[in-house]
């Protein structure tokens, strides 16, 4: 008992970024009451930025050598640190979008920032969860606050409706996940992922367990069902089929800055959990590669989900005219691409997921930033509002084109790097099954080019609709657009820093 308490207290030092964020949530709620008058918007944004900077400083000084914290509930390692940087960048970018957004009123800005920090805290905890209970709790923290943020504009019918759909789908998904966890607990007597790994490996040989549950087949089936159920909660966060139904409605109804955040942050957090769950629980490093230690064919399950997810996302996106909806289906398709990396079940596969998520951050947030600009300036989310944009706001139009090309995966942009690594991971595995999945991915990329190009065509070739005067873009937005484009070009040409960081993060997962 004494030793356990001492271990918990000793863990606090390595938990500094999360402590800073928790304090930041409370501080923002208080500052929301203090800051009044004209400068409120700027001051609250500064406060939010300072909390993020403190969290980043805390993250920089926290060691990332692999070790368990709080008696195994939380794991400190390179993978968690990689994702924490990703989440911080997403939150900072979102704040950049919020600054000039008319959708978040000045009166409720403090509340918005405080809740956003709470989601950030939840995502950080998802990335470092070393225990299935912690996975469930952190996932619920992200979900519960996201419900509130999706329905942030209470007076807006669409926002409230999006929130309700989100809550119901989310409740079902987390309920299914919890039921899966309860069976994992029953089968193995623990929810600690590090302890689960060896137990799952030894599972098929255990006659005793098999007899209690009514035969070896039944026991195996129980494990497969439990894994599928756990995948439900994670897949819901990733917006992968068949847990994607909430995605288009919530993306359309939620305030645009939060939609941007939602399309990157929680999706990445879902992948963080999936990488750790399958990496620690179901695989082990052997002979330079990874071996599936369980009799559960999880790479096949994930691969089939990947194929269905990207195909459904891309096909449905073809018919969309609302940009937020179109990008929602595009983000479903990207969840499918990312699942390909997980399905490869190799070091390179895991790495490619990390690289793609980092690249995806810039291109998808950039795309949503353009949508936010257009919604604020022209009031239109429909593709017709983008007609002739190249003449009305040339820089924005060029930036949007770069983001869309990168989302398609055209060189020399970073989207190509990400896709290249995903496909390389599949082809490295060899078997006809992996090649088939890669072909499905390639066909899907071609389909996606069609609907992305449709937007580019409207912007460049079609005459402006209505008045068609020039659109003024705030300087913050211009800087964000330029920064995102620079990042996409940089990582498209020099991707070794990103590759190196992802390699270190992935190797940390398998060093124990």
Partner 1 sequence: MILPSAYLVVGALLFGLGLCGVLVRRNALTAFMSVELMLNAANLTFLAFARHPLRGAPSLDGSAIAFFVIAVAAAEASVGLAVVIAVFRSRGTVEIDALRSLRH
252 lies in the site for partner 1, by CB under 8 A:
yes
Judged by CB under 8 A, which of 1, 33, 154, 463 binds partner 1? 154
187 lies in the site for partner 1, by CB under 8 A:
yes
x/- track of binding to partner 1 for residues 362-381 (CB under 8 A): --------------------
Instruction: Provide the minimum distance between the beta carbon of 199 and partner 1 in the complex, in angstroms, as a whole number.
Output: 10
Instruction: Provide the minimum distance between the beta carbon of 250 and partner 1 in the complex, in angstroms, as a whole number.
Output: 9
Give the strand pairing for 289-292 and 67-69: unpaired
Q: Is the dihedral of CA 112, 118, 120, 126 positive or negative?
A: negative
Which residue stretch of 244-252, 307-315, 430-438, 480-488 sits at the interface with partner 1 (rule: CB under 8 A)?
Answer: 244-252
Q: Is the dihedral of CA 212, 218, 223, 226 positive or negative?
A: negative
Residues 263/331, Cβ–Cβ less than 8 Å? yes
- Helix intervals (H) in 189-215: 193-203, 207-212
Question: 276-314: buried (b, 16+ CB within 10 Å) or exposed (e) per residue?
Answer: bbbbbbbbeeeeeebebbbebebbeebbebbbbbbbbbb
Query: Residue 192, SS3?
Result: strand
Residue 176 vs 385, nearer CB to partner 1: 176
Q: Alpha carbon of 482 to those of 327, 453, 465: distances in Å?
A: 21, 21, 26
The residue count for binding partner 1 (CB under 8 A) is: 48
Instruction: Provide the minimum distance between the beta carbon of 453 and partner 1 in the complex, in angstroms, as a whole number.
Output: 23
Own/partner contacts of 331-334, CB < 8 Å, gap of 24 or more, are 331/239, 331/247, 331/251, 331/263, 331/267, 331/364, 332/239, 332/240, 332/241, 332/244, 332/247, 333/309, 333/444, 333/448, 334/310, 334/360, 334/364, 334/407
Please give the residues from 108 up to 147 whose contact with partner 1 meets the rule CB under 8 A: 133, 136-137, 140, 143-144, 147
Which residue stretch of 248-256, 443-451, 480-488, 497-505 sits at the interface with partner 1 (rule: CB under 8 A)?
Answer: 248-256
470 lies in the site for partner 1, by CB under 8 A:
no
Q: How many angstroms separate the CA atoms of 359 and 392, rounded?
A: 28
Q: How many angstroms separate the CA atoms of 297 and 224, rounded?
A: 8
Instruction: Provide the minimum distance between the beta carbon of 178 and partner 1 in the complex, in angstroms, as a whole number.
Output: 4
Residue 207 vs 467, nearer CB to partner 1: 207
Residue 201 vs 377, nearer CB to partner 1: 201
x/- track of binding to partner 1 for residues 286-325 (CB under 8 A): ------------------------------------x--x
213 lies in the site for partner 1, by CB under 8 A:
yes
Per-residue DSSP letter, 131: B
Judged by CB under 8 A, which of 208, 431, 463, 475 binds partner 1? 208
x/- track of binding to partner 1 for residues 43-72 (CB under 8 A): ------------------------------
Judged by CB under 8 A, which of 160, 285, 315, 376 binds partner 1? 160
- Helix intervals (H) in 318-431: 323-344, 347-378, 389-392, 394-408, 414-429
Residues in contact with partner 1 by the rule CB under 8 A: 133, 136-137, 140, 143-144, 147-148, 151, 154-158, 160-165, 167-168, 171-172, 174-176, 178-179, 181-183, 185-187, 189-191, 208-209, 212-213, 248-249, 252-253, 322, 325
């Amino acid at each position: 008992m004494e030793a356990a308490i001492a271990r918990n207290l000793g863990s606090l030092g390595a938990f500094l970024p999360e402590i800073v964020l928790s304090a930041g949530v409370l501080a923002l709620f208080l500052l929301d009451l203090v800051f009044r008058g004209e400068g409120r918007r700027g001051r609250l944004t500064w406060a939010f930025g300072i909390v993020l900077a403190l969290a980043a400083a805390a993250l920089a000084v926290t060691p990332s050598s692999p070790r368990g914290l709080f008696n195994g509930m939380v794991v400190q390692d390179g993978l968690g640190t990689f994702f924490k940087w990703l989440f911080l960048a997403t939150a900072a970018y979102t704040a950049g979008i919020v600054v000039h957004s008319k959708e978040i009123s000045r009166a409720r800005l403090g509340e918005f920032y405080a809740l956003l920090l709470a989601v950030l805290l939840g995502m950080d905890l998802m990335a470092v969860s070393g225990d299935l209970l912690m996975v469930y709790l952190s996932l619920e923290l992200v979900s519960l606050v996201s419900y509130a943020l999706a329905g942030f504009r209470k007076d807006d019918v669409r926002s409230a409706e999006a929130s309700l759909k989100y809550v119901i789908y989310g409740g079902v998904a987390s309920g299914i996940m919890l039921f899966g966890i309860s069976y994992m607990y029953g089968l193995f007597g623990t929810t600690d992922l590090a302890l689960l790994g060896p137990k799952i490996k030894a599972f098929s040989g255990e006659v005793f367990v098999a007899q209690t549950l009514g035969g070896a087949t039944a026991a195996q089936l129980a494990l497969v069902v439990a894994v599928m159920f756990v995948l439900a909660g994670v897949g819901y966060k990733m917006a992968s089929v068949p847990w994607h139904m909430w995605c288009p409605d919530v993306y359309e109804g939620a305030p645009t800055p939060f939609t941007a955040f939602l399309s990157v942050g929680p999706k990445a957090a879902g992948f963080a959990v999936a990488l750790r769950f399958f990496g620690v629980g179901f695989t082990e490093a052997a002979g330079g590669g990874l071996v599936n230690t369980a009799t559960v064919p999880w790479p096949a399950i994930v691969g089939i989900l990947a194929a269905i997810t990207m195909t459904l996302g891309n096909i449905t996106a073809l018919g969309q005219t609302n940009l937020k909806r179109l990008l929602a289906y595009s983000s479903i398709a990207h969840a499918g691409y990312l699942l390909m990396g997980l399905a490869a079940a190799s070091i390179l596969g895991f790495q490619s997921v990390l690289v793609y998520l980092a690249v995806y951050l810039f291109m998808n947030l950039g795309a949503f930033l353009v949508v936010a600009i257009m919604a604020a300036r022209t009031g239109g989310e429909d593709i017709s509002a983008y007609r002739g944009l190249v003449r009305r706001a040339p820089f924005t139009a060029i930036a949007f084109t770069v983001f869309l090309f990168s989302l398609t995966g055209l060189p020399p942009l970073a989207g190509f790097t990400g896709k290249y690594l995903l496909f390389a991971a599949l082809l490295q595995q060899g078997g006809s099954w992996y090649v088939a999945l890669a072909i499905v991915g390639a066909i899907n990329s071609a389909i996606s080019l069609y609907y992305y190009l449709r937007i580019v065509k409207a912007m460049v070739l079609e005459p402006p609709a209505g008045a068609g005067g020039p659109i003024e873009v705030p300087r913050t937005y211009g800087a964000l657009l330029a920064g995102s484009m620079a990042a996409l070009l940089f990582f498209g040409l020099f991707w070794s820093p990103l590759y190196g960081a992802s390699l270190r993060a992935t190797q940390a997962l398998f060093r124990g």
